Amino acid sequence: MSQPILQFGTSRFLLAHVALFVSEALERGDAIGGISVVQTTANPASRARVAALSRQDGYPVRIRGRERGVVIDKAVVCRAIRDAWIADRDWAAVRSAAIEEVRVIVSNTGDTGYRLDERDSAVLLSHDGAVPRSYPAKLLALLHSRWRERACDGVSIFPCELVENNGDALRGIVLSLAMQWSLPDAFLAYVQDQCIWVNSLVDRIVSEPIDPVGAVAEPYALWAIERRPGMELPCTHESMILTDDLRSHERLKLFFLNLGHSWFAEQWLTGQRSLSETVLDAMQDSQMRAEVESVWQEEVLPVFATLGMRSQAEDYLTSVRDRFSNPYLDHRISDIAQNHAAKIKRRVLPLIELADSLSMSNAQPRLRGLLEKQGLF
Residues 194, 64 within the same domain: yes
User: DSSP string spanning 139-183?
Assistant: HHHHHHHHHHHSTT---EEEE-SS-TTHHHHHHHHHHHHHHHTT-
Alpha-carbon distances, residue 369 vs 122, 255, 352, 364 (angstroms): 52, 16, 11, 8
- CA–CA separation, 231 vs 228, rounded Å? 6
Beta strand pairing status for 196-197 and 156-159? parallel
**Strands lying side by side in the sheet with 81-86:** 81-86, 35-39, 5-8, 104-107, 156-159, 196-197
Residues 232, 258 within the same domain: no
Alpha carbon dihedral 48, 51, 52, 54, in 10-degree steps, equals 160
Q: Tell which residue, 288, 371, 283, 367, has the closest CA to residue 321.
A: 283
- CA–CA separation, 305 vs 283, rounded Å? 25
Q: Looking at 209, 243, 277, which one is the last position of a domain?
A: 243
Residues 350, 222 within the same domain: no
Q: Tell which residue, 217, 220, 216, 258, has the closest CA to residue 239.
A: 220
* Tens digit of pLDDT at every position of the chain (377 positions): 679 999 999 999 999 999 999 999 999 999 999 999 999 877 778 888 999 999 878 999 999 999 998 999 999 999 999 999 999 999 999 999 999 999 999 999 977 889 999 999 999 998 878 999 999 999 999 999 999 988 678 999 999 999 999 999 999 999 999 999 999 999 999 999 999 999 999 999 999 999 999 999 999 999 999 999 999 999 999 999 999 999 999 999 999 999 999 999 999 999 999 999 999 999 999 999 999 999 999 999 999 999 999 999 999 999 999 999 999 999 999 999 999 999 999 999 999 999 999 999 778 999 999 999 999 87
**CATH number (domain holding residue 304):** 1.10.1040.10
Helix (H) or strand (E) holding 65: strand 59-67
Residues 126, 150 within the same domain: yes
Residues 167, 305 within the same domain: no
* SS3 at position 40: coil
Residue range(s) defining the domain that contains residue 69: 5-243
What's the structural domain count of the chain?
A: 2
Backbone Cα Rg of the chain: 22
- CA–CA separation, 152 vs 168, rounded Å? 20
Q: What angle do CA 261, 263, 264 make, to 5 degrees?
A: 65
Residues 219, 322 within the same domain: no
Residues 227, 216 within the same domain: yes
Q: Looking at 218, 243, 268, which one is the last position of a domain?
A: 243
CA atoms within 13 A on the CB side of 145: 25
**CATH number (domain holding residue 74):** 3.40.50.720
CA atoms within 13 A on the CB side of 222: 20
Q: Looking at 243, 264, 292, which one is the last position of a domain?
A: 243
The confidence score (pLDDT) of residue 320 equals 98
The answer to whether the beta carbons of residues 40 and 229 sit under 8 Å apart is: no
- CA–CA separation, 90 vs 38, rounded Å? 9
Residues 225, 325 within the same domain: no
Chain-centroid distance of CA 255 in Å reads: 17
Residues 55, 193 within the same domain: yes
In this prediction the pTM is 0.94
Residues 318, 255 within the same domain: yes
Between the two ends of the chain, the Cα-to-Cα distance in Å is 58
Residues 201, 64 within the same domain: yes
Residues 239, 106 within the same domain: yes
